[in-house]
Structure 1
Amino acid sequence: MTATEARAAARKPAQIVDMSWDPITRIIGNLGIYTKIDFANREVVECHSTSSLFRGYSVFMKGKDPRDAGFITSRICGICGDNHTTCSNYAQQMAYGVKPPRLAETIVNLGEAAEYMFDHTIFQDNLVFVDFCEAMVKATNPSVMARAERTEARNGYIHGYRTIADIMRAFNPFEGELYKEALKVSRITREMFCLMEGRHVHPSTLYPGGVGTMPEPTTFTDYLSRLLRVLDFIKQAVSMNDDVFDFFYEALPGYEEVGRRRILLGCWGAWQNPDVVDYRYETMSDWGKAMFVTPGIIVDGSLVTNDLVDINLGMRIMLGSSYYEDWVNEEPFVTHDPLGNAVDMRHPWNQTTVPVPQKRNFEGNYSWVMSPRWYDKNSAQHLALDTGGGPLARLWSTALNGLVDTPYVKATGHSVRISLPKSDKMPEMTFEWKIPQWSNTIERDRARPYFVAYSAAMAFFFLERAMDQVRSGDTKIFENYEVPDEAIGCGFHEAVRGVLSHHLVIKDKKIANYHPYPPTPWNASPRDHYGTPGPYEDAVQGQPIFEENGPEDFKGVDIMRTVRSFDPCLPCGVHMYLGKGNTLTKLHSPMFGAAHG
């Protein structure tokens, strides 16, 4: 009898229970996860991911002055608005034919590095780890908690906690030491961000052509002093995460299957190299590869391409199970790119957004999120790429490419080495993130603190460059430009939780078409018209259940860990539509004045 036959023989008669989590409110309450769980065989047999929010940025951007795009699109998200501003400016700079001064690019890079440190820290330590804290593990897996009490932490000499259970107690919300310390670190890293980009979360000093941040020496020394203050925490966090995640693999054999899906990762690259980038589409292949996070599409562990032109042309926006009319029979906005390559009708440059509100139907349409896919010419397949929560894809792509080589971060072809200097209590340390066996829940979460360390390391690199430029008198921060009558542009960046692109079409000096594609539609997409599930659905569907509770008090912690490993944030999933609008009636109260109803 084969192993497959043995497993089949061991299966029990199914005990299927419908269970849903809607809304999932950890970030914002528009995400719903609907499952069918077989409790007899302890697995999820079906999953649908839904979004109840439609907003319509791509609708109301039309006719606007393109120079307003960065300020408007930053309002897409109340968490990573600066990533949208940055990406929008990249797209505009291509359309306007303008290259910002080198120091301006470095200031943007410093701001984005601070954003990654801020957002990943608050998400990992104040949100993700609620699902791994003592209180949650005790409620869902008491036997695992008992084992954690007996298991020594291998990296205790770095982070100071003796057992895995001690770390889990530090994760307890509102009370745990690590939970409270992460909030302080988030405040400091947000201050670092504001030094570079003016305001969090909607930047006030980022513009096409440059920045408004005054490059005083104290601007950079104030940033540096804060970076040094959080360095001990970052070093400890990497070690602590490794201890906890390694423990889960050991304590729950087979846990690698939780959230595991085929390795289909996308990274669009981050942190432009000021010495190479010129924002011309014709040279995008070259300056894309010079980014300090290397773009790439990874299929079954192999690098398919790192060329942003290929990545751009392969993008397809599909409807499938979402609430929209199709546009494929309309007149295209863009037929060919600046290099003469044909542009598909389902490319973001050609997309139009016509919402069709309707009742949710899991046999038909059930989400406001569309289904972005990447067309792989080699396999002739539309791939449901995911972002690995952001850090997993970024590290994986950078490692495989082997192009990043700085004094602080080096990609080796199979790993990323991250060197952090001496800090307040800890010596200089080098961490090495190695390409894992799986793309699963644990590895998405493990990559996050490593990328915080990566961001801190690159911040030192960018600071050195910025201060060298200021000392040499190279302090120009803005380049003038003219808005053309007609143009197209595209920006590629990494939002905190993964791939981010903005596609812009200008006609008569106004926006004719504009489509931002953040990581959430890639991750949270429903089934497309080929029936291919989106990454949330695919990662949850078929995964085993390790929670010890039965249906009557089931919390779904393994499912929640999987969804949250992608860093879900639904406002970026669909872009506010009020139909014909609602009538607002003003009522007057003698006590309270005007009230609105």
Structure 2
Amino acid sequence: MTATDRAPAVEKPGQLIEMSWDPITRIVGNLGIYTKIDFPNQRVAECHSTSSLFRGYSVFMRGKDPRDAGFITSRICGICGDNHTTCSIYAQNMAYGIKTPPMAEWIINLGEAAEYIFDHTIFQDNLIFVDFCEAMVKDTNPSVLARAENTPAPHADVHGYRTIADIMRSFNPFEGETYKQALKVSRITREMFCLMEGRHVHPSTLYPGGVGTMPTPTLFTDYLSRLLQVLDFVKKSVALNDDVFDFFYEALPGYEEVGRRRVLLGCWGAFQDPAVVDYRYESMNAWGKAMYVTPGVVVDGRLVTTDLVDINLGMRILLGSSYYEDWVGEEPFVTHDPLGNPVDMRHPWNQTTLPAPGKRDFGDKYSWVMSPRWLHPETGEHLALDTGGGAYARLYTTALADIVDTPYVRSTGHSVQIHLPRSHQLPEQTLEWRIPLWSNAIERDRARVYFIAYACAMALYFLERAMAGLRRGDLKVFQDFEVPDAAIGVGFHEAVRGVLSHHLVIRDGMIANYHPYPPTPWNGSPRDRFGTPGPYEDAIQDMPLFEENGPDDFRGIDIMRAVRSFDPCLPCGVHMYLGGGRTLQQAHSPMFGASHG
């Protein structure tokens, strides 16, 4: 437990009790959750999500050499910086008219797979599971722990823990075996990453046009040897997760409502297929569908689109409760996309960051995060899509699309099947993630470990393809290019915790406009100008509470589980600039510090 897990200060206006957790995240303290709680009815009556972090990427990118964009934007985040680099490179490839050599694409895919395995593991086992560990459950729901002591673990033959309580003890920080093993896995997977991308977390070998990593048999076998070391841990983790999460549904009837919201999911796709991708906007629908994680928008369980062109054109950046002035009325940067479709003034290509600092007012403006929304082409709704913490949306869209078909991963229309070969201790396994009934805290958390298995399986496939290329003598990893005087580009990728896009406008050979939109503003946005709450707010507001503590020693564990299931991070959420002659003085700047993106 951390300092932020202690009971917050309490005020009692009438029957509702105001409680806040600010910060609520365990790494970067920029996310505040402000609530009003109805204790007699054990419900959250009201919720607001805030960010107090000031940053400036979307403004100080202007006038820079576009070739520097990947190196600069990787510093947005201290953990998912490589996702930003990769996405920036995708946007630049489009703007410069580059088709990357196939071997370079396999190397990038291998690096990104290692990042997913690393980041999801350390977040799940060293951060999320603190909320499900023995110490926390004993403090917040002692009756649940008592039941766990007498509940056999269904998959004990896989992971080795006799009871659910034994699993919970393995989650205890610094002492539990699962906690300690995850730290070892994080070291191994970082080594895998560095083999491909040179440095963690700000890559030194990724560029528009390709990579600087030289493909050799030793490179790929070194990666493979490390990947095989973590497969036992991954197989056990899936079994551990299923046992604990299924137990919570049984022990606390109604727990499916914790963090539950309407199924509104966005995934922008990951892992390019070198045989299809050419980064041309005109063919973006084709190469988007060929990704090994299928892009898409899911509304109420229905896959609305898998077309990246539709996804791009539907993006809107709304204000409302954000500390910014509107830019509508200014001259647009882009009026039409390369296919001739009109581009809205609230699209990221046309966005201008105009900060307007003010006092926090939950009836007006209260956050530095803007409100990205997706315009539904059929209903006209501005949808507050969420990413389900990244893994949930990726598995959901891929399952429904029923496109991915490799020897290691296959989508079925209702599930994703993941095949892992025999490892040191455990036999080969075919895991199956099935589309669940709910979009809630537990299912977001459950999906995370299944996607770790997915990334492991795809890494095996990418290794096979890269080695086959080596045997053919396919060693080219970089394509020369020239920066045009004027161009636009967009990169679509998946950061670990969800959708990531970079929109680029070049004029006179320099950056005229640049807007990265990571998962955090999608998930952590405040109420927009239509009054629609952001996903954090929506998932918590009107949520039932199951904690056994009363107001005086309330920990808010159910609220924490709901927020953290999205894998929250605020450094990626706010990009801010103080203009008009204003200056901001502070003793320490968080801009380039280590962060959890």
TM range (shorter): over 0.9
Q: CA deviation at 1:27?
A: 2.5
Q: Deviations over 1:554-585 (max 9, x none)?
A: 00000000000000010000116466446799
Structure-2 residue corresponding to 1:569 = 569
- The answer as to 2:155 corresponding to 1:155 is yes
One-letter identity of the residue aligned with 1:386: D
Structure-2 residue corresponding to 1:590 = none
Q: Deviations over 1:286-305 (max 9, x none)?
A: 00000000001000000000
**Distance in 2 (alpha carbons) for counterparts of 1:466 and 1:360:** 53
Contact 1:263 1:300 in 2 (8 A): yes
- Which secondary structure does the structure 2 equivalent of 1:345 belong to? coil
**Distance in 1 (alpha carbons) for counterparts of 2:136 and 2:93:** 48
Contact 2:25 2:568 in 1 (8 A): no
Q: CA deviation at 1:25?
A: 3.5
Structure-1 residue corresponding to 2:510 = 510
* Pairing of 1:191-202 with structure 2 (within 5 A): 191-202=191-202
Structure-2 residue corresponding to 1:62 = 62
Q: 1:41 to 1:405 in 2, by over 3 A?
A: same
**Distance in 1 (alpha carbons) for counterparts of 2:398 and 2:100:** 25
Q: Deviations over 1:172-220 (max 9, x none)?
A: 0000010000000001000000000000000000000000001111110
- Pick which of 22-31 and 294-303 moved more: 22-31
Percent of residue pairs bearing the same amino acid type: 78
One-letter identity of the residue aligned with 1:567: D
* Pairing of 1:51-450 with structure 2 (within 5 A): 51-450=51-450
Q: CA deviation at 1:23?
A: 1.2
Contact 1:267 1:494 in 2 (8 A): yes
Q: 1:182 to 1:159 in 2, by over 3 A?
A: same
Contact 1:27 1:568 in 2 (8 A): no
Structure-1 residue corresponding to 2:592 = none
**Distance in 2 (alpha carbons) for counterparts of 1:95 and 1:393:** 28
**Distance in 1 (alpha carbons) for counterparts of 2:586 and 2:18:** 39
Contact 1:402 1:412 in 2 (8 A): yes
Q: CA deviation at 1:237?
A: 0.2
- Which secondary structure does the structure 1 equivalent of 2:22 belong to? strand
One-letter identity of the residue aligned with 2:128: V
What is the Cα-based RMSD across aligned positions, in Å? 1.2
**Distance in 2 (alpha carbons) for counterparts of 1:450 and 1:584:** 42
Instruction: Provide the TM-score with structure 1 as the length reference.
Output: 0.95
Q: CA deviation at 1:24?
A: 1.7
One-letter identity of the residue aligned with 1:32: G
One-letter identity of the residue aligned with 2:422: K
**Distance in 1 (alpha carbons) for counterparts of 2:176 and 2:290:** 41
Structure-2 residue corresponding to 1:534 = 534
Structure-1 residue corresponding to 2:593 = none
Unaligned runs of 5+ residues in structure 2 are 1-13, 588-597
**Distance in 1 (alpha carbons) for counterparts of 2:398 and 2:69:** 30
**Distance in 2 (alpha carbons) for counterparts of 1:262 and 1:332:** 34
One-letter identity of the residue aligned with 1:239: A
Structure-2 residue corresponding to 1:525 = 525
Contact 2:96 2:482 in 1 (8 A): yes
**Distance in 1 (alpha carbons) for counterparts of 2:584 and 2:539:** 39
Contact 2:355 2:578 in 1 (8 A): no
- Tell me which stretches of 4 or more aligned residues in structure 1 moved more than 3 Å: 576-585
- Which secondary structure does the structure 2 equivalent of 1:571 belong to? coil
Q: CA deviation at 1:541?
A: 0.4
Unaligned runs of 5+ residues in structure 1 are 1-13, 586-597
- The answer as to 2:550 corresponding to 1:550 is yes
Structure-2 residue corresponding to 1:500 = 500
Instruction: Provide the TM-score with structure 2 as the length reference.
Output: 0.95
Q: Deviations over 1:234-289 (max 9, x none)?
A: 00000100000000000000000000000000000000000000000000000000
**Distance in 1 (alpha carbons) for counterparts of 2:506 and 2:585:** 34
Contact 2:317 2:346 in 1 (8 A): yes
**Distance in 2 (alpha carbons) for counterparts of 1:252 and 1:171:** 20
* Pairing of 1:482-497 with structure 2 (within 5 A): 482-497=482-497
Contact 2:355 2:576 in 1 (8 A): no
Q: CA deviation at 1:324?
A: 0.5
Q: CA deviation at 1:316?
A: 0.1
**Distance in 1 (alpha carbons) for counterparts of 2:359 and 2:126:** 35
- Which secondary structure does the structure 1 equivalent of 2:483 belong to? coil
One-letter identity of the residue aligned with 2:495: A
Q: Deviations over 1:108-167 (max 9, x none)?
A: 000000000000000000000000000000000000000000000001100000000000
**Distance in 2 (alpha carbons) for counterparts of 1:214 and 1:491:** 24
**Distance in 1 (alpha carbons) for counterparts of 2:362 and 2:569:** 22
Contact 1:391 1:444 in 2 (8 A): yes
- Which secondary structure does the structure 2 equivalent of 1:515 belong to? strand
Q: CA deviation at 1:54?
A: 1.8
Structure-2 residue corresponding to 1:589 = none
**Distance in 1 (alpha carbons) for counterparts of 2:228 and 2:332:** 51
Q: 1:345 to 1:578 in 2, by over 3 A?
A: closer
- Which secondary structure does the structure 2 equivalent of 1:357 belong to? coil
**Distance in 1 (alpha carbons) for counterparts of 2:426 and 2:445:** 24
One-letter identity of the residue aligned with 1:308: L
- Pick which of 155-164 and 20-29 moved more: 20-29
Q: Deviations over 1:499-519 (max 9, x none)?
A: 000000000000000000000
- The answer as to 2:472 corresponding to 1:478 is no
One-letter identity of the residue aligned with 2:217: P
- Which secondary structure does the structure 2 equivalent of 1:23 belong to? coil
- The answer as to 2:19 corresponding to 1:19 is yes
